[in-house]
Structure 1
């Protein structure tokens, strides 16, 4: 395993704030946890260069300008810009404006951090710009909690970090929408799948029925419903299979047929992929 290394210039103002924390092993196992958190006004020639740190880092620019170099790309960071990176990878960031680069930042780990990070990176970009105050408010809340820590602080911080990660994914992937933003055909399509999931349906069928290009249909349904249409259809089949396994004594072959799958071997394999167990095991342990 490669060793952690870091170089840095610590040119930040005297009213900057930084907390370095060392959670207990129990808290690391149980929670999302803070490793470091701060609110900096960083002056030239402030920079940090590092690699192989077991941590995720989020920075939210409040004013001034910074620059991030990460994964072979360079990013300009201005007011409202946010980045989230895996600090195992090489990173370099610095102040590039004459005025201080003011930012709030969080080093964190634990929980489902890695899964959230993967979801954050769905469009391949490390940065995005927020136009709401929500993330700044969450960070201010986390910072305030560090002033007077007590027995509840680790629990509270874990919940807030989870809230922060939700907000990052929602805003970056443009999931912050209301029902009125959703194209009407999406709900019609969802209703159609809810009522016809036992049938043999593919994207070409849906394209013809709803008169929407299948690629657009697939993209928009995924964005607003959370899964592509065919994956949604499969999930509805598995949901019914679970119900039949738990609340009837029907043979597995019959259940496969009832949910629209005529190959019981394929059904068993698909069920295990989606649930982690075979239909027999699910029925036995249900």
Structure 2
């Protein structure tokens, strides 16, 4: 269900806000919209002050200027800049007195929202996207979906929010470390790890293989893929183990050895942590025996 609001006289008549009540399915499974909008101020006003709101807010300044107050600090905002805040914390934002702004925004939530926000980090909520036009298109798409709220619209809005969050998190990570390894170089490292996952691999050895500082490599890898190098290797080893469990009669000890796990006990523990069931149960379920 969506409701579109009227605005006071100090807003341009083209301004639009959609307040949404998400379905139970969306609350359980999607990024869901609580409110989306696109407003143009004709004159500045006092702005908003909120806290204890179970929501995340992303705002893009399309024109004009203003300030965000968050985490006990004031952040100046200009055209093209954005901010992302956790609305459970006290926050406020207002247009500059003589430079009324135009804003796009989305209030959203979802089970994955806190994890994405943790990746984004709470150190500085303001950022300048690499492609402001792309951010505007995604926010406009979310608003269009909120205006015609139904199941397909909820799915489309969730997909747009997920893509927007991924772009924001990736961009901020790169901006925080402009000398970080290129995506192509890191992809080469990851391909190598997967290809050689059954071998004995160490961070020192991999860094030497690619002539990169191990600390630099570890930091850049985690930022790009959201997991450590050893985590990537273990995932690849488990993938290889699944192949052997399903299509061979090798014992668990033989599978552990072939997939690079030094001990069967470590293999079985990691497998159950990853899959929520034992390797034997996995084999039985997939082979139908």
TM-score normalised by structure 2 residue count: 0.80
Please name the residue that 2:24 is paired with: 25
Please name the residue that 1:285 is paired with: 285
Kindly tell me: are residues 47 and 183 of structure 1, through their superposed partners in 2, closer, same or farther at Cα, counting changes over 3 Å? closer
- Matched-pair contact (CA < 8 Å) for 2:33–2:146: no
After TM superposition, the structure 1 stretch with the greater mean CA deviation from structure 2, 258-267 or 35-44, is: 35-44
The runs of 5 or more residues in structure 2 that have no matched partner are: 1-7, 176-180
State the Cα deviation string for residues 63-85 of structure 1 (Å, max 9, x = none): 22222222334322212211112
Please state how far the C-alpha of 1:203 moved relative to its aligned partner: 1.6
Q: Distance in 2 between matches of 1:145 and 1:187?
A: 35
- Matched-pair contact (CA < 8 Å) for 2:59–2:103: yes
Aligned length: 271
Q: Distance in 2 between matches of 1:26 and 1:235?
A: 30
Q: Distance in 2 between matches of 1:146 and 1:108?
A: 11
Q: Distance in 2 between matches of 1:209 and 1:94?
A: 52
Please name the residue that 2:129 is paired with: 130
Q: Distance in 1 between matches of 2:260 and 2:149?
A: 56
Please state how far the C-alpha of 1:115 moved relative to its aligned partner: 2.7
State the Cα deviation string for residues 206-244 of structure 1 (Å, max 9, x = none): 233332211122233345555433322222111111211
Please name the residue that 2:76 is paired with: 76
- Matched-pair contact (CA < 8 Å) for 1:11–1:46: no
- Matched-pair contact (CA < 8 Å) for 1:31–1:158: yes
Query: For 1:4-153, what aligned pairs fall within 5 Å after superposition?
Result: 12-15=10-13, 16-42=15-41, 43-110=43-110, 112-121=112-121, 124-132=123-131, 133-149=133-149, 152-153=152-153
Q: Distance in 2 between matches of 1:271 and 1:12?
A: 60
State the Cα deviation string for residues 156-202 of structure 1 (Å, max 9, x = none): 33333333333333333349xxxxx8377545534432343223222
Q: Distance in 2 between matches of 1:157 and 1:11?
A: 30
- Matched-pair contact (CA < 8 Å) for 1:37–1:105: yes
Please state how far the C-alpha of 1:152 moved relative to its aligned partner: 3.9
Kindly tell me: are residues 40 and 203 of structure 1, through their superposed partners in 2, closer, same or farther at Cα, counting changes over 3 Å? same
Measured on the aligned residues, the alpha-carbon RMSD in Å equals: 2.8
Q: Secondary structure at the match of 2:105?
A: strand
Q: Distance in 2 between matches of 1:184 and 1:279?
A: 34
- Matched-pair contact (CA < 8 Å) for 1:64–1:97: no
Please state how far the C-alpha of 1:134 moved relative to its aligned partner: 0.5
TM-score normalised by structure 1 residue count: 0.81
- Matched-pair contact (CA < 8 Å) for 2:130–2:171: no
- Matched-pair contact (CA < 8 Å) for 1:12–1:46: no
- Matched-pair contact (CA < 8 Å) for 2:252–2:264: yes
Please state how far the C-alpha of 1:11 moved relative to its aligned partner: 8.5
- Matched-pair contact (CA < 8 Å) for 1:67–1:96: yes
Residue 261 of structure 1 pairs with residue 243 of structure 2: no
Q: Distance in 1 between matches of 2:167 and 2:184?
A: 25
